[in-house]
């Protein structure tokens, strides 16, 4: 499976779009059929607005997450186009790609080792007896494995899941029961190291 180059986190995507917008404005031979500076800047504005909405509308968190994924998908399509255009202008490993918020690609099939995942948030889920877990996206990961325990990550997990995004809502738990969670990145038969455990008491 090809290495993912498009971020799933809204803040990261917004910053990358702004970098791309700056790069486009200074590129005199930018192809007319590619995403324009206005397109990229407008999309970054939409994403920024949605991030603000999520922060201020906690009661509508589930709906806001769906909206964010939609904007991230559209922004991701634009970034894919910018990635392809800069490949043509500078080559896949051209250092100029950094001007658009895209690191040069590794040439020659070199594999990037999977690093340890960092859990950034663990909180109440959107439903009863659920826990929402969020972590930093790992470059080169095709998926993530999530496990949860009734103790400090010892013995047999009481549940596990494989997910494609860098977040997961664990449902069907026991209310008021404390759980420990850890996550690792997956790419084919390669597995990254487990994250440090995070813990949370399941909500009512």
Encode pLDDT of 10-68 as tens digits. 777 778 888 888 888 878 888 878 888 888 888 888 877 877 776 666 556 666 666 76
Most confident of the following: 2-11, 27-36, 122-131, 181-190? 122-131
> Quick check: 78 and 68 in contact, CB under 8 A?
no
Structure tokens at 118: 């960092």
- Give the residue carrying structure tokens 């051209």: 94
Q: What CATH number belongs to 119-201? A: 2.60.40.10
**Number of Cβ atoms within 10 Å of the Cβ of 154:** 10
**Is it the case that residue 112 has pLDDT exceeding 50?**
yes
Most confident of the following: 32-36, 135-139, 152-156, 179-183? 179-183
Q: What is the pLDDT of residues 141-153, one digit of tens each?
A: 878 999 999 988 8
Q: Can you point out the beta strands (E) in 13-166?
A: 119-124, 131-135, 143-149, 159-163
Q: What is the pLDDT of residue 59?
A: 59
The DSSP output letter for 107 is -
pTM of the model: 0.52
State the chain's mean pLDDT as an integer: 81
Q: What is the pLDDT of residue 1?
A: 43
- The fraction of the chain above a pLDDT of 90, given in percent, is 27
Determine whether 75 is exposed, middle or buried from the number of CB atoms within 10 Å of its CB (0-12, 13-18, 19+): buried
């Amino acid at each position: 499976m090809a290495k993912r180059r498009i971020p799933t986190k809204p803040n990261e995507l917004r910053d990358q779009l702004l970098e791309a917008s700056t790069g486009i404005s200074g590129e005199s031979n930018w192809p007319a059929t590619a995403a324009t500076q206005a397109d990229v800047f407008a999309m970054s504005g939409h994403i920024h607005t949605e991030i603000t909405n999520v922060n201020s509308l906690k009661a509508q968190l589930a709906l806001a997450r769906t909206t964010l994924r939609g904007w991230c998908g559209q922004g991701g399509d634009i970034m894919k186009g910018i990635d392809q255009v800069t490949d043509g202008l500078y080559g896949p490993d051209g250092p100029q790609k950094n001007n658009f918020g895209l690191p040069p690609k590794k040439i020659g099939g070199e594999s990037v080792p999977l690093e340890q995942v960092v859990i950034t948030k663990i909180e109440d889920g959107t439903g009863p007896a659920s826990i929402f877990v969020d972590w930093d996206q790992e470059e080169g990961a095709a998926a993530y494995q999530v496990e949860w325990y009734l103790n400090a990550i010892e013995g047999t997990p009481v549940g596990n899941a494989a997910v494609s995004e860098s977040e997961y809502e664990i449902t069907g738990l026991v209310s008021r029961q404390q759980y420990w969670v850890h996550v690792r990145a997956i790419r084919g038969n390669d597995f990254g190291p487990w994250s440090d455990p995070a813990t949370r008491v399941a909500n009512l």
